[in-house]
A and B are shown apart, each in its own frame.
Chain A
Amino acid sequence: SQWGEENLQALSIQEGEDVTMNCSYKTYTTVVQWYRQKSGKGPALIILIRSNEREKRSGRLRATLDTSSQSSSLSITGTLATDTAVYFCATDEGGSNAKLTFGKGTKLSVKS
């Protein structure tokens, strides 16, 4: 799983497999945003889940949020080689002055 103090995690899987990445946060968050960064590009939002949601789906993506354990997960079903990227979670601390804090990321390699 990723959090601010951890180094970049790496996963290598075969095309067609399912994969789950985890994210932990230290304090309250109003939202967990998952970003994907492909090689040579900037990160881009792929799915967002709010604190009052337990699960969110978008195509082959599924995000979950467990506020009691302060953790979120991102699952990708039927991975493709084009899913190869670094995946970041971002959380806020709630409140009007909060900003997003990005985790260290998970580097996913999908081999065809």
Chain B
Amino acid sequence: DMKVTQMPRYLIKRMGENVLLECGQDMSHETMYWYRQDPGLGLQLIYISYDVDSNSEGDIPKGYRVSRKKREHFSLILDSAKTNQTSVYFCASSLYRQDTQYFGPGTRLLVL
């Protein structure tokens, strides 16, 4: 069963706190992604990972970092979260970088 999971689904944090968003996939896909989606702005690519410990900045990496120590797992870290990082975060994976992307259900993050 091809699936991308995200944890947690909902998260409320105070400004300055650290945030960890987790993503997993069961398809042995090489490439994984983190996006954020704000109303009316579509999907903005934060980071892309081509395999374990092979990560590359996307279009809006400032304020975020990632970790990929296992092929099936990709984490997004916000060190000292800011209110403007309130958003819906999506993780996705694909067999290779131009292939179909499979998205998780999203994490709704509210930073107060």
Q: Which residues of A contact B48 (CB under 8 A)?
A: 99
Contact status A48-B98, CB under 8 Å: no
Contact status A8-B100, CB under 8 Å: no
CB distance from B66 to the nearest CB of A (A): 15
Contact status A43-B103, CB under 8 Å: yes
**Which one of A8, A30, A33 contacts B42 once the chains associate, using CB atoms below 8 Å?**
A8
Contact status A88-B100, CB under 8 Å: no
CB distance from B92 to the nearest CB of A (A): 7
Segment with Cβ contacts to B, from A20-28, A58-66, A76-84, A100-108: A100-108
Interface of chain B residues 62 through 112 with chain A (CB within 8 A): 90, 92, 94, 97-98, 100-106
- Per the bound structure, the CA–CA distance linking A33 and B103 in Å amounts to 14
Q: Which residues of B contact A8 (CB under 8 A)?
A: 40-42
The verdict on A7 contacting chain B, using a C-beta distance below 8 Å, is yes
The verdict on B60 contacting chain A, using a C-beta distance below 8 Å, is no
Interface range for A: 20 to 34
Contact status A42-B98, CB under 8 Å: no
- Per the bound structure, the CA–CA distance linking A97 and B31 in Å amounts to 12
**Which one of B98, B101, B104, B106 contacts A30 once the chains associate, using CB atoms below 8 Å?**
B98
Return the chain A residue nearest B97 by Cβ: A99
Q: Which residues of B contact A48 (CB under 8 A)?
A: 100
Q: Which residues of B contact A4 (CB under 8 A)?
A: 42
Most central of A7, A33, A48, A99 by chain B CB within 10 Å: A99
Given contacts A44-B103, A100-B98, 10 further A-B contacts (CB under 8 A): A7-B40, A7-B41, A31-B98, A41-B106, A42-B4, A42-B90, A48-B100, A100-B101, A102-B43, A104-B41
A residues neighboring B (CB under 8 Å): 4, 7-8, 30-31, 33, 35, 40-45, 48, 88, 90, 92, 97-100, 102-105
A selection of 17 A-B contacts at a CB cut-off of 8 Å is: A8-B40, A33-B100, A42-B92, A42-B106, A43-B90, A43-B101, A44-B103, A45-B100, A48-B100, A88-B42, A99-B48, A100-B97, A100-B98, A102-B43, A104-B40, A104-B42, A105-B42
